[in-house]
Amino acid sequence: MKDFLKSVKLLIKRILKPDPFLLPIILVAVLFFLAVFDVYQKGEIILKSTLNTPVTNYKSSNYPFLKNKFNPSILAQAAIVVDKDSSVVIYAKNENLRFSPASTTKIMTALTALDYFKLTDVLEVKRATGEGSILGLVRGEKMTFLDLLYAMLLPSANDAAFVIAQNYPGEEAGFIEKMNQKAKLLGLNNTHFQDPAGLLDQDDYTTPLELARLASISLENKLFSQVVSTKYRFISDINGVNTYSLLNRNKLLGIDGISGIKTGFTDEAGGVLVSSKAENGHTLIIVVMRSEDRFRDTLALASYVSDNLTYLSIHP
């Protein structure tokens, strides 16, 4: 730094040789510029580090701290437990590796759709699909967006997800583009979607850290939070001809404070589960990916943090 200032001083002397009285003023100006630039760089570093946390907005001054640390026994190849309010990672295993999200993709499908559709909008089945978990919708059938949202998030109906995408401007291609735009907007730089249902394992990917971040953001939407915590619901087409009984695939709802969020499974992805858990007035996000037993692993992590957290008061 001293050598740099010396060089600048010599350069200024040569340039301003006829008027040496300006030299101190210019030197001060250079020092001021360097100070501002240093502050700017530090600000950029802070901003980037914030964008890498599971949640963008730090709202809590209570820092979660594990009373007893040990390695919980889980089968999942990757997992994470995050305190939603403080964004603090409590437990992590391979949290930055990319995995197929399977049907947890539908979290982003729901958030993208909620930005555009009204709950009473009537959507039409333009192309029926029979792949994976489906409701059994047929071409030409019409349902409200709200009922399709429940169908997509409770029994994880792939055909409901595709119908939502088909009725978006630009249909499926336009909807998928919007999903990926939203991912970038939320700072999910290791996340990509190629279909609205999570069936394309080779092209859909995210990390446990970013999936936890997406889950945290999704819970800010009260309707989404309400839907994913629903155990069962009856829906029908707009004519009341076809009725459907929906059962939430998340077997852990209501157990140990768990109230959501989304299941996922394909042969490639293995078992995936994103859960929200109430713990002493706080909300924890639990994500397990590529698990042989997603429900067992989630319960093991829930047990790990239950009555094992204390919150320290800090200044944010």
Residues catalogued as catalytic: 103, 106, 156
CA geometry: angle 193, 195, 197, nearest 5 deg: 105
CA geometry: angle 102, 107, 109, nearest 5 deg: 90
Query: What length is written for the chain?
Result: 316
Q: Are 283 and 85 in contact (CB under 8 A)?
A: yes
Q: Residue written as tokens 């619901």?
A: 233
Task: Kindly state the helix (H) or strand (E) to which residue 89 belongs, with its residue range.
Answer: strand 89-93
Torsion sign across C-alpha atoms 132, 136, 141, 142: negative
Which pair of tokens denotes residue 289? 């990916």
233 backbone dihedrals φ, ψ, rounded to 5°: -160, 150
Residue among 302, 188, 180, 191 at smallest CA distance from 250 = 302
Edge to edge, the sheet with strand 282-291 lists 89-93, 78-83, 282-291, 270-279, 258-266
Q: How far is CA 26 from CA 184, 229, 236, in A?
A: 42, 64, 75
308 CA to centre of own chain: 25
Residue among 30, 65, 73 at smallest CA distance from 313 = 65
Longest CA–CA span in the chain (Å) reads 93
